[in-house]
Copies of this chain bind each other. A is one copy, B any other.
């Protein structure tokens, strides 16, 4: 619902938020780690004000947590969390495909194809960069939501994928199944290109189900 489209001059709060979020989703900061304000101040060389703003946002976004009034910690990501998010994702990703039926332009298809190819390229490399692969996975699913034109769906997709990314890094699932997932994306995009939306919907439902199975191992 919040609108990233309006460009705001890069503020220290924003930079701090991006930096800390990146450290969390890339696994440098691990679940349970305390996000002490003073420590982050030194590390990022800013005062507490922007740090606090960043932490608030992370808490609201579900990447950090603050019980009682004590310190903020990186939130645990449990399998259960991901299963619950996946239950929601199954509904919303298929919804996205249905909505695309009336919304997808040649321009949009090109964009999806480009993201997919990019992902293939990354996965093809011998010693793949899994963090980069997770980012492309994020981009692809978010793009799918964005192309529906439904702002709320887009916002929700971002929340789901952000949390999922954190899990993918920590669990090593991407390392194990990265290539498989890329193939599934390929299939979905293919159906969208050829206008076979019903097949695309089935394919994306299978994709989400497959993701869930891989996680549960």
Contact = CB atoms under 8 A, between A and B. Distances in A.
Given A6-B68, A60-B60, A68-B6, A1 B163 contact: yes
Query: Can you tell how many copies of this chain the complex includes?
Result: 2
Q: Which of A1, A56, A91 has the most CB of B within 10 A?
A: A1
A47 interface: no
A52 B149 CA distance: 30
A30 interface: no
A3 B76 CA distance: 12
Interface in A3-46: 3, 6-9, 11
A92 B88 contact: yes
A196 interface: no
A160 interface: yes
A2 B68 contact: no
Interface in A145-167: 149-153, 155-156, 159-160, 163
Interface string A62-92: 1001111100000000000100110110011
Interface residues of A, number: 40
Nearest to A75: B1
B7 A68 contact: yes
Nearest to A83: B150
A17 to B, nearest CB: 11
A95 interface: yes
Given A56-B56, A156-B159, 8 more contacts: A2-B62, A8-B67, A9-B69, A57-B60, A62-B155, A85-B152, A88-B153, A91-B95
